[in-house]
């Protein structure tokens, strides 16, 4: 081992070195921000160039010096004057390594970016896939390979043509500091071998099969290898250690020729061979910032001479002691005397020992153990688990989570290790500061608690608790914690044992759910939890993922496979504000898992966020999705970054959702995207839902009409309701498209016929003269009729009467809402709103179109059809008084859209009718047993089945009421009768008081009451 003389070049810190093209000068860069040019190891033979505050990497090409500075750029200076040239690239973090090959510069940065820049045309290529700061980059232009090492522990091999990953190895120690391990590898361009430092050894990979060909390890050194470098002719290999040692190996046999040491255990951080001389190299250390120049020619010659002189004595001694096995393990290097011409000159010294040729030839050179590994099927590498909306865990300062409540940030450095909880609404709660002495790596935040976890324990902080003891911890004994999340009242902890452990916010342990593979990520929304895990072994470069969906309140468990983009990875999962599941992959594909009425999950493709950001020159970091406000993505815009910085605080931007349809730039596709957004992301319980849907359909209908696409326009009409179809007929006829209007009119008649058949079926289902919903419920013998009556009746009222719009005010609810007082009577005058007029028509059959010319004349008459009328019931024998009921008579005339867009005129009733209406309004509506039961349980049923419509909720309520026992039903019916009896008693009392007060007008009052039951013959 030979000591090396070093010279202080820069301040203590990372120092980089390189040679000029002709090998006459050495360039060094240091943390002090200077670049120095050395022609020898003499203080007088240097030239200083002031560059920036800090210099992290240096490279030389074509009389120009390229420096990676603290200003997050690659600065260019002319050699040797140092004149400033235009900067060729800007980044968001400092450059960690530079390498130049054939007028192309390759750079790696702290923000996980690797790029190549063609110095001829400044063309850039990015190589994505890294999850931590870059340690080194090494190109192989013959094979068009680019090898990178990263702090996430992986060595990746890229194809430089299409920037795709060919192979990756998990070899390096994971860290978040580039100074702890550099892992700088190198190519043997003569044999296409890749040498990679792995802990205290060097592994050599064959690039044709990507298998391990050889391994080198010096048993006398236990420190890690920082770097390896092949000489310019690939004759020697230099291995630099953390303890300051440098070993020079012969490439073929991996035999140590000579070992150098700096003497103070200064880690070797950079090494470069002279491009014009294989016997010379320079190096730099990281602790002191010094460098040295080494000429190995003299050392190699002395080593060869010494080994030859000592060889006979060693052989003779080993022969006498009969220790051939020990001889084979000797560290004395044996020189092949027929290797080259220079060594042939040494043969003159060997003549003296020619008397014992057998002894010399019996000495066996030390062999390098080659590992022969038979590789079978290599399973695909599983993606590491992650927390949604968190930055890389390999960063010193990072976001542990960002959601709608706030953000949790982590600060980790030499003098500070803390966690900060910041709330978006400062009036909700003040910021919380936590000392991270335990080393929490995962976090979750809700409007009630903060959850922090390491691999073995987690801590819950109830910042909204009224208890003084608002913090508790729990140890996980079996397995390690891999993912955590917070719901409204539950905590979910996923362990490496493939278990999801649930805890309450106070620490009570709940159920333990099993999953079928390693967890990838988990998230929560209120009382629902959604977890994604690796389900099975996928194809090469493919990922097989599955999910489970848990609703702890409704006791719903769903599972299935997760559709995924080929050769991609999952980057984000989460719930929208409406509780729908969304997930995003690495290439920017956003998808939705929407729950259907059959309690299944339907995967739907939404858009490509990455392509949307490229239109504006930014990349989006997704943090949430808002459906309630029309469909928007809550994102943070980034420029040249993978993750946002903590300072300055990021600004959230809203990006509208545009479905990934074909030809999205044209108006037709934009309207189609809006229609999908309304139906998939809209809230059907919203009052404006039907109005927005009708408005969008009419806009879509106008586009094919203008472009003479009649069949497309007709197909759009099949998506419309009756009211919108009538408006479409008007638009088509006024546009001169009579054939289209005729087709749409036929479609309208078909829909009217369907409604007429449904109405007739309702009227003919029962034999009784008066049929109510309560009677249908109590009829135990005909369950199907009950369901059909409920479904069809409510459908008629919703479709025909209750059409929400901005201008139209619906009739009083008593006239259309089903209750025990809503009687469908055959003897009562019932006007069918869909019945066709018996007027004869021509063979063309465009009855709706024939009325278009007389719209203005019939407008008043059509609006009068909304006039409330009082119907009288004619009895055959006994006249039984009945309460007057309001009903609405609606016809299917062609000006139905006018009724939709304007309020109908209601005529003022006469004095007698006014008295009857006053009496009717003053009397409370009677209720059945089902009405009373449903009014008390309606909110609970709606909360359990939020996705069901009003019709489906009513049908479900009928079924649940029928499942009650006869005694329970009788109790509800008796309660309803008692309530109705009190109403009738109150009514009779009011009538008696009126008779006493108005005794003089008794006869007139009686005649007025009897007139209510009169009927026309």
**Least confident among 81-90, 303-312, 616-625, 656-665:** 303-312
Q: Higher confidence at residue 21 or residue 849?
A: 21
Least reliable range by pLDDT among 245-254, 477-486, 664-673, 797-806:
797-806
Query: What per-residue confidence (pLDDT) applies to 102?
Result: 85
State the residue for tokens 């603290």. 70
Q: Model confidence at 759, in pLDDT bands (50, 70, 90)?
A: low
CA-to-CA dists, residue 699 to 128, 669, 688, 714, 874, angstroms: 43, 12, 17, 14, 49
C-alpha 843/C-alpha 859 separation (Å) is 27
Which segment of 313-322, 448-457, 809-818 scores lowest on mean pLDDT?
A: 809-818
Q: Residues 162, 163, 164, 166: is their CA dihedral positive or negative?
A: positive
Q: 354-358, 461-465, 593-597 — which is least confidently predicted? A: 354-358
Please name every residue paired with 895 in a beta bridge, in sequence order, or none if there are none.
none
Q: Could you report the per-residue pLDDT of 689-716, keeping only the tens digit for each?
A: 888 888 899 999 999 998 889 999 999 9
Phi, psi (degrees; rounded to nearest 5) at 695:
-65, -40
What is residue 552's three-state secondary structure? coil
**Residue 845 region by backbone torsions, left for phi larger than 0, else alpha for psi between -120 and 50, else beta:** left
| Average pLDDT of span 234-250 | 88
Per-residue model confidence as pLDDT tens digits over 733-744: 998 889 999 999
Contact 489, 447 (CB under 8 A): no
Phi-psi region of 815 (alpha: psi -120 to 50; beta: other; left: phi over 0): alpha
Q: What is the pLDDT of residue 148?
A: 93
Cβ atoms of 453 and 461 within 8 Å: the answer is: no
Phi-psi sector, 723: left (phi>0), alpha (psi -120 to 50), beta? alpha
pLDDT score at 628: 79
| Token pair for 290 | 């010094």
- Look at residue 570 and tell me whether its pLDDT is greater than 90: yes
Which comes out higher in pLDDT, residue 859 or 153? 153
The CA distance from 88 to 66, in Å, is: 9
Structure-model confidence comparison of residues 198 and 903, the more confident one: 198
Taking residues 149-154, what's their average pLDDT? 88
β-strand partners of 212: 205
Task: Give the pLDDT confidence score for residue 829 in this predicted structure.
Answer: 41
Residue 607 CB coordination number (10 Å) = 21
Neighbour count for residue 306 (Cβ, 10 Å): 12
pLDDT digits (tens, 9 = 90+) for 43-91: 777 888 888 888 889 999 888 999 998 888 899 999 888 888 888 888 8
pLDDT band at 378, cuts 50/70/90?
A: low
pLDDT exceeds cutoff 90 at 325 = no
505 has a pLDDT exceeding 50: yes
Average pLDDT of the segment spanning 185-206 = 89
Burial class (CB in 10 A: 0-12, 13-18, 19+), 448: middle
The pLDDT tens digits of the residues spanning 458-474 come to 999 999 888 888 899 99
Average pLDDT rounded to a whole number, residues 641-668: 88
Which range among 319-323, 596-600, 811-815 has the greatest average pLDDT?
596-600
> Which residue segments constitute the domains of the chain, with CATH numbers given?
2-295 (2.130.10.10), 302-361 (no CATH), 397-665 (2.130.10.10), 757-837+844-1000 (no CATH)
Percentages of the chain per state (helix, strand, coil), in multiples of 5: 25, 30, 45
Question: What is the pTM assigned to this prediction?
Answer: 0.56
Three-point CA angle 993, 994, 998, nearest 5°: 120
Beta bridge partners of 236: 250
Structure tokens at 577: 């504000």
Rounded distance between C-alpha atoms, residue 959 and residue 963, angstroms: 6
- The strands making up 193-198's β-sheet, listed across from edge to edge, are 186-188, 193-198, 201-206, 211-217
CB burial class (10 A; 0-12, 13-18, 19+) of residue 171? Answer: middle
What percent of the chain has a predicted confidence (pLDDT) above 90?
24
Which pLDDT does position 538 carry in this prediction?
66
pLDDT score for 473: 94
Give the burial class of 530: count Cβ atoms within 10 A of its Cβ; 0-12 exposed, 13-18 middle, 19 or more buried.
buried
pLDDT tens for 110-141 read: 888 899 998 888 888 889 888 888 999 999 88
Average pLDDT over residues 961-975: 79
Is 394 a residue whose pLDDT tops 60? yes
Q: What mean pLDDT value characterizes the chain? A: 75
**760 band by pLDDT with thresholds 50, 70 and 90:** low
Q: Taking Cα atoms as reference points, which of 561, 557, 567, 568 lies closest to residue 534?
A: 561
Q: Give the pLDDT band of residue 311 (cuts 50, 70, 90).
A: low
- pLDDT for 360 beyond 60: no
The 10s digit of each residue's pLDDT in 801-823 is: 334 443 333 444 333 333 333 33
The confidence score (pLDDT) of residue 459 equals 95
Question: With 60 as the cut, is the pLDDT of residue 895 above it?
Answer: no
Task: Pick the closest to residue 202 from 165, 240, 233, 150 (CA basis).
Answer: 240
């Amino acid at each position: 081992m030979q000591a090396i003389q070093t010279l202080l070049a820069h301040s203590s810190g990372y120092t980089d070195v390189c040679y000029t093209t002709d090998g006459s000068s050495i360039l060094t860069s240091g943390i002090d921000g200077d670049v120095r040019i050395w022609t020898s190891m003499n203080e007088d033979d240097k030239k200083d160039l002031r560059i920036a505050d800090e210099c992290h990497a240096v490279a030389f090409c074509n009389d120009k010096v390229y420096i990676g500075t603290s200003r997050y750029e690659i600065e260019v200076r002319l050699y040797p004057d140092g004149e400033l040239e235009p900067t060729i690239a800007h980044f968001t973090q400092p450059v960690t390594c530079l390498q130049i090959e054939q007028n192309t510069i390759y750079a790696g940065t702290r923000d996980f970016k690797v790029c190549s820049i063609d110095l001829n045309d400044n063309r850039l290529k990015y190589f994505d896939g890294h999850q931590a700061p870059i340690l080194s980059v090494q190109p192989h232009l013959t094979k068009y390979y680019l090898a990178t090492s990263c702090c996430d522990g992986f060595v990746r091999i890229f194809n430089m043509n299409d920037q795709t990953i060919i192979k990756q190895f998990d070899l390096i120690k994971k860290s978040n500091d580039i100074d702890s391990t550099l892992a700088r590898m190198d190519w043997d361009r003569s044999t296409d071998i890749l040498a990679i430092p792995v802990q205290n050894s060097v592994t050599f990979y064959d690039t044709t099969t990507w298998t391990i060909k050889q391994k080198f390890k010096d048993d006398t050194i236990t420190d890690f290898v920082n770097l390896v470098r092949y000489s310019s002719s690939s004759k020697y290999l230099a291995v630099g250690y953390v303890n300051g040692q440098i070993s020079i190996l012969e490439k073929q046999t991996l035999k140590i020729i000579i070992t150098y040491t700096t003497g103070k255990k200064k880690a070797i951080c950079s090494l470069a061979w002279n491009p014009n001389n294989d016997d010379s190299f320079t190096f730099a250390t990281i602790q002191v910032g010094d460098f040295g120049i080494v000429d190995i020619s003299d050392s190699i010659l002395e080593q060869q001479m010494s080994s030859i002189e000592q060889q006979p004595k060693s052989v003779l001694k080993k022969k006498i002691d009969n220790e051939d096995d020990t001889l084979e393990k000797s560290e004395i290097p044996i020189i092949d005397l027929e290797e080259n011409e220079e060594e042939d000159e040494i043969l003159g010294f060997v003549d003296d020992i020619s008397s014992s040729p057998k002894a010399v030839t019996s000495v066996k050179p030390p062999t390098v153990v080659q590992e022969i590994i038979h590789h079978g099927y290599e399973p695909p590498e599983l993606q590491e688990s992650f927390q949604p909306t968190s930055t890389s865990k390999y960063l010193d300062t990072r976001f542990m989570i960002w959601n709608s409540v706030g953000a949790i940030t982590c600060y980790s450095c030499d003098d500070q290790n803390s966690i900060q909880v910041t709330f978006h609404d400062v009036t909700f709660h003040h910021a919380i500061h936590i000392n991270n002495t335990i080393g929490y790596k995962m976090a979750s935040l809700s409007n009630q608690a903060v959850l922090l976890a390491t691999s073995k324990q987690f801590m819950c902080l109830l910042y909204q608790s009224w208890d003084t003891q608002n913090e508790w911890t729990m140890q996980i004994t079996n397995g390690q914690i891999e993912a955590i999340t917070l719901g409204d009242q539950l905590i979910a902890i996923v362990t490496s044992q493939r278990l999801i452990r649930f805890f309450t916010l106070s620490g009570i342990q709940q159920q333990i759910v099993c999953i079928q593979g390693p967890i990838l990520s988990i998230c929560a929304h209120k009382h629902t939890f959604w977890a994604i895990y690796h389900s099975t072994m996928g194809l090469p470069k493919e990922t097989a993922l599955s999910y489970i969906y848990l609703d702890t309140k409704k006791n719903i468990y769903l599972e299935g496979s997760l559709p995924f983009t080929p050769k991609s990875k999952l980057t984000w999962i989460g719930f929208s504000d409406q509780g729908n599941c969304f997930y995003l992959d690495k290439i920017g594909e956003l998808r939705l898992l929407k729950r259907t009425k059959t309690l299944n999950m339907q995967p739907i493709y939404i858009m490509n966020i990455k392509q949307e950001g490229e239109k504006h020159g930014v990349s989006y970091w997704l943090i949430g999705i808002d459906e309630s406000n029309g469909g928007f993505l809550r994102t943070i815009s980034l420029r040249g970054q993978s993750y946002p910085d903590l300072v300055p605080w990021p600004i959230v931007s809203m990006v509208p959702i545009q479905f990934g349809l074909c030809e999205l730039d044209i108006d037709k596709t934009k309207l189609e995207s809006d229609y999908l957004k309304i139906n998939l992301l809209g809230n059907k319980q919203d009052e404006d839902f039907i109005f927005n849907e009708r408005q969008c359909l009419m806009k879509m209908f106008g586009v094919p009409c203008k472009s003479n696409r009649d069949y497309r326009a007709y197909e759009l009409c099949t998506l419309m309701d009756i009211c919108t179809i009538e408006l479409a007929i008007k638009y088509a006829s006024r546009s001169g498209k009579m054939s289209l209007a005729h087709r749409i009119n036929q479609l309208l008649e078909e829909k009217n016929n369907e409604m007429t058949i449904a109405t007739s079926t309702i009227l003919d289902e029962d034999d009784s003269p008066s049929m109510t919903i309560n009677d249908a419920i109590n009829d135990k013998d005909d369950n199907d009729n009950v369901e059909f009556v409920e479904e069809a009746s409510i459908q008629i009222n919703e479709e025909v009467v209750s059409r929400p719009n901005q201008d139209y005010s619906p009739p009083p609810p008593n006239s259309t809402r089903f209750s025990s007082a809503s009687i469908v009577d055959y003897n009562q005058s019932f006007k069918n709103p869909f019945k066709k007029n018996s007027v004869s028509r021509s063979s063309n059959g465009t009855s709706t179109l024939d009325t278009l010319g007389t719209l203005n004349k019939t407008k008043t008459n059509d609006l009068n059809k909304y006039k409330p009328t009082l119907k009288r019931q004619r009895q055959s024998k006994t006249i039984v008084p009945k309460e007057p009921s309001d009903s609405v008579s609606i016809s299917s005339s062609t000006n139905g859209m006018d009724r939709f867009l304007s309020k109908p005129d209601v005529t003022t009733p006469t004095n007698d009718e006014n008295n009857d209406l006053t009496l009717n309004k003053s009397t409370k509506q009677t209720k059945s047993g089902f009405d009373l039961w449903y009014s008390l349980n309606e909110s609970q049923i709606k909360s359990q089945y939020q996705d069901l419509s009003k019709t489906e909720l009513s049908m479900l309520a009928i079924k649940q009421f029928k499942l009650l026992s006869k005694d329970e039903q009788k109790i509800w019916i008796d309660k309803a009768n008692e309530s109705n009896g009190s109403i009738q008693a109150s009514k009779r009392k009011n009538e008696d008081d009126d008779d006493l007060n108005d005794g003089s007008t008794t006869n007139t009052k009686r005649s007025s009451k009897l007139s209510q039951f009169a009927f026309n013959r």
